[in-house]
């Protein structure tokens, strides 16, 4: 089904592309939020991701589409925040923080809120493998493709990421 | 026994999965259409045929000057599209620089082509090129061959695309030999809107190329060997990169205290890829309009 849609979309069929968007929009939004995009910016980032996918879809001819989608999302997010840093304004930062807090309150219980916060504090090299593996069901090989590193590097990062999270729990008096 | 951390991670996953989708497909598609309309203002007609030597001149001067008015890209696009499409009057016609982005055909042997021309007034170092406009209008124009240029080998069907983001503006000329396919870029001139150290800008630019599938960044010398930029711009660095069977060469030039990225790409073994490839293109950089 997805293969057919991809083929049609590559031939310029906008209906097929629209169906691909429908199929993957949640994944993109979820991944963007998990890797640190503020709820205020999720719409903008998601639009940019699909614009890039639309423009470069014809270049995608190897590997899983979702793997590529994660890579595009990561790059868009990096780009987005690089720009944002250049135009940082405290008031906007404050509003964003408030909105993010409300968003988290709405959807997470206390335990998940805590873990979400800890994951956000991890360096990107540790954060992304955890997110892709546990929240998106990607195996180590797929994660290696997304990140452009070896499978061995992914394994090491996963191990280190989990150690870091456990250490954080220890800091708050919880032994895992 | 399941790791406690893993349990927590699975629980968090369930809550992530419960978060409703914010974006809607229609608005995403509308956004794409809008952006595509903005960036695809012009297509060169396909009926222009391959010549032995093709001169594509790009009045880079205006583009170079344009970085002084960052944010004015819409104007530039409009003007470029209009220059391509017709000779009709335009509101921008009084501006300092003009965009000349036309294709012209010449004989293989430039010297021969000069001698056959009857225009005695023309300087020896000038070449007369015939430019084609969309509506079938042709005009001849003398162009200084010794001024800034670089050459590459390509097909002659192109389309122009401008891509702008908050960070940068990219003027791109693509081949158009297989329908709408935008691959590969024949010529690109890009600049970042913010002033930074050149190393920082190169990193940013390479990241963009990485996102577009390019790998293996290495020092290069393509532009140093095939380019003359006159005395108003200088190449400060060069690199090459590869994406599948496409080799791209990038030069960073310094002009008016700005760093500009110029790029050209070629197929690896291009002659086998498409029999229409192989014509020599010269990108003429009109020194007269540099400002």
CA dist B264 and B249 (Å) reads 5
How does DSSP classify residue B170?
E
The yes-or-no verdict on residue B260 having pLDDT over 90 is no
Cα B63 from Cα B170, distance rounded (Å): 10
B6 touches chain A (CB under 8 A): yes
Instruction: Kindly list the distances between the CA atom of residue A21 and the CA atoms of A11, A69, B46, in Å, as whole numbers in the listed order.
Output: 16, 11, 32
Listed by number, the residues of chain A in 35-64 with a beta carbon closer than 8 Å to a beta carbon of chain B are 39, 42-43, 46-47, 50-52, 54-56, 58-59
Residue A2 sits at the chain B interface (C-beta within 8 Å): no
Report which of residues B21 and B181 the model is more confident about. B21
**pLDDT tens-digit readout, B186-238:** 778 888 888 888 999 999 999 999 988 899 999 988 877 766 665 556 788 99
**B91 in contact with A, Cβ within 8 Å:** no
Instruction: Indicate the range of A76-85, B87-96, B120-129, B215-224 predicted with least confidence.
Output: B87-96
CB contact under 8 A, A56 and B181: no
Best of B12, B180, B181, B182 to substitute, by most chain A Cβ atoms within 10 angstroms, is B12
CB contact under 8 A, B8 and A52: no
B1 to chain A, any CB pair closer than 8 A? The answer is no
Residues of B within 8 A of A12 (CB-CB) are 180
Q: Which of B158 and B275 is assigned the larger pLDDT?
A: B158
Contact with chain B for residue A23, Cβ under 8 A: no
Strand partners, B144: B126
Q: What is the pLDDT of residue A75?
A: 78
Q: Looking at the predicted structure, is the pLDDT value of residue A77 above 60? A: yes
| Segment (H or E) for B159 | strand B158-164
In angstroms, rounded to a whole number, what is the distance separating the alpha carbons of residues A45 and A77? 7
Is the peptide bond prior to A57 cis by the omega test (within 30 degrees of 0)? no
Q: Are B98 and B115 in contact (CB under 8 A)?
A: no
Count Cβ atoms below 10 Å from residue B151 Cβ, excluding itself.
19
More confident position, B37 or B281: B37
User: What average pLDDT does range B77-89 have in this prediction?
Assistant: 29
Could you tell me if A93 lies within 8 Å of chain B, comparing CB atoms? no
pLDDT range class, residue A130, cuts 50, 70, 90:
very high
Name which residue leads in pLDDT, A117 or B94. Answer: A117
**ipTM entry:** 0.89
Give the nearest chain A residue to B161 (CA atoms).
Answer: A55
Q: A6-20, B35-49, B237-251 — which is least confidently predicted?
A: B35-49
The answer to whether residues A57 and A50 touch, using CB atoms and an 8 Å cutoff, is no
Distance of alpha carbon B274 from alpha carbon B271, whole angstroms: 6
Over range B66-88, report the average pLDDT: 30
Containing B55, the helix (H) or strand (E) segment is: strand B53-58
Q: To which residue do tokens 């391959």 refer? A: B50
Residues on chain A touching B4 (C-beta within 8 angstroms)? 176
B16:A51 CB<8 A: no
Q: What is the mean pLDDT of residues A40-52?
A: 91
Distance between CA atoms of B124 and B202, rounded to whole angstroms? 39
How far apart CA A108 and CA A34 sit, in angstroms, is 13
Pairwise pLDDT comparison (A26 vs B272), residue with the higher score: A26
Are B9 and A54 inside 8 Å of each other by CB?
A: no
For residue A99, the distance in angstroms to the closest alpha carbon of chain B comes to 14
pLDDT of the residue at B136: 33
Condensed to tens digits (0 to 9), the pLDDT of residues A53-62 reads 998 887 777 6
- Asked if A176's CB is within 8 angstroms of B5's CB, the reply is yes
Q: CB distance A135–B12 less than 8 Å?
A: yes
When pLDDT is cut at 50, 70 and 90, the band that residue B247 belongs to is confident
Q: Please give the pLDDT value at position A71.
A: 85
Sheet hosting strand B280-285, strand order edge to edge: B101-106, B53-58, B280-285, B149-153, B227-228
Tokens standing for residue B245: 């069977």
Q: Is A169 on the interface with B (CB under 8 A)?
A: yes
User: Of chain B residues 145-174, which have a CB less than 8 A from chain A?
Assistant: 165-167
Question: Can you read off the two tokens belonging to residue B16?
Answer: 């992530």
Helix (H) or strand (E) holding B13, with range, is helix B4-18
Paired residues of B282 in beta bridges: B55, B151
> A43-52, A148-157, B93-102 — which one is most confidently predicted on average?
A43-52
CB B261 within 8 A of CB B188: yes
| Range scoring the smallest mean pLDDT among A54-58, B71-75, B173-177, B232-236 | B71-75
Confidence band (pLDDT; 50, 70, 90) for A170?
Answer: very high
Query: Out of B4, B29, B36, whose CB is closest to A18?
Result: B29
SS (H, E, C) B201-242: HHHHHHHHHHHCCCEEEEECCHHHHHEECCCCCEEEEEEEEE
Minimal C-alpha gap between A134 and chain B (Å): 7
Q: What is the pLDDT of residues A82-128, one digit of tens each?
A: 566 545 544 455 555 566 666 777 788 999 999 999 999 998 889 99
What CA–CA distance (Å, rounded) separates A74 from A24? 15
Residues 6+ apart with CB under 8 A from A22: B25
Is B150 strand, coil or helix? strand
């Amino acid at each position: 089904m997805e293969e057919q849609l991809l083929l049609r979309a590559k031939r310029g069929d906008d209906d097929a592309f629209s169906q691909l968007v429908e199929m993957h929009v949640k994944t993109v939004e979820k991944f963007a939020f998990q890797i640190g995009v503020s709820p205020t910016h999720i719409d903008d980032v998601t639009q940019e991701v699909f614009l890039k996918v639309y423009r470069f879809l014809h270049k995608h001819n190897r590997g899983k589409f979702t793997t590529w989608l994660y890579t595009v999302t990561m790059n868009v997010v990096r780009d987005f925040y690089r720009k944002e840093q250049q135009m940082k304004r405290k008031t906007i930062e404050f509003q964003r923080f408030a909105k993010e807090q409300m968003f988290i309150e709405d959807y997470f219980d206390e335990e998940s809120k805590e873990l979400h916060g800890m994951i956000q504090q991890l360096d990107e090299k540790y954060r992304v493998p955890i997110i892709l593996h546990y929240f998106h069901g990607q195996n180590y090989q797929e994660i290696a493709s997304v990140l452009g590193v070896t499978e061995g590097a992914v394994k090491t990062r996963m191990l280190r990421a989990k150690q870091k999270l456990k250490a954080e729990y220890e800091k708050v008096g919880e032994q895992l | 026994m399941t790791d406690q951390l893993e349990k927590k991670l699975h629980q968090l996953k369930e809550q992530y999965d419960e978060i409703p989708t914010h974006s809607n497909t229609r608005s995403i598609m509308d956004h794409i259409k809008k952006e595509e309309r903005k960036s695809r203002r012009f297509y060169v007609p396909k009926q222009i045929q391959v010549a032995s030597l093709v001169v594509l001149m790009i009045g880079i001067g205006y583009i170079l000057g344009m970085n002084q008015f960052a944010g004015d890209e819409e104007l530039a696009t409009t003007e470029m599209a209009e220059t391509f499409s017709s000779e009709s009057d335009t509101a921008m016609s009084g501006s300092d620089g003009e965009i000349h982005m036309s294709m012209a055909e010449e004989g293989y042997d430039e010297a021969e082509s000069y001698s056959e021309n009857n225009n005695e007034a023309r300087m020896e170092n000038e070449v007369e090129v015939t430019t084609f406009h969309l509506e079938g209008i042709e005009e001849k124009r003398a162009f200084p061959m010794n001024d800034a240029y670089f050459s590459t080998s390509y097909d002659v069907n192109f389309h122009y695309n401008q891509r702008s983001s908050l960070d940068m503006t990219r003027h791109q000329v693509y081949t158009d030999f297989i329908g709408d396919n935008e691959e590969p870029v024949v010529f690109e001139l890009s600049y970042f809107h913010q002033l930074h150290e050149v190393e920082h800008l190169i990193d940013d630019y390479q990241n963009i190329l990485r996102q577009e599938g390019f790998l293996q960044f290495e020092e290069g010398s393509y532009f140093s060997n095939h380019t003359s930029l006159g005395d108003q711009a200088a190449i400060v660095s060069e690199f090459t990169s590869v994406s599948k069977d496409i080799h791209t060469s990038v030069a960073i030039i310094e002009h008016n205290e700005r760093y500009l990225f110029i790029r050209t790409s070629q197929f690896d073994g291009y002659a086998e890829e498409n029999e229409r490839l192989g014509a020599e293109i010269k990108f003429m950089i009109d020194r007269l309009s540099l400002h």
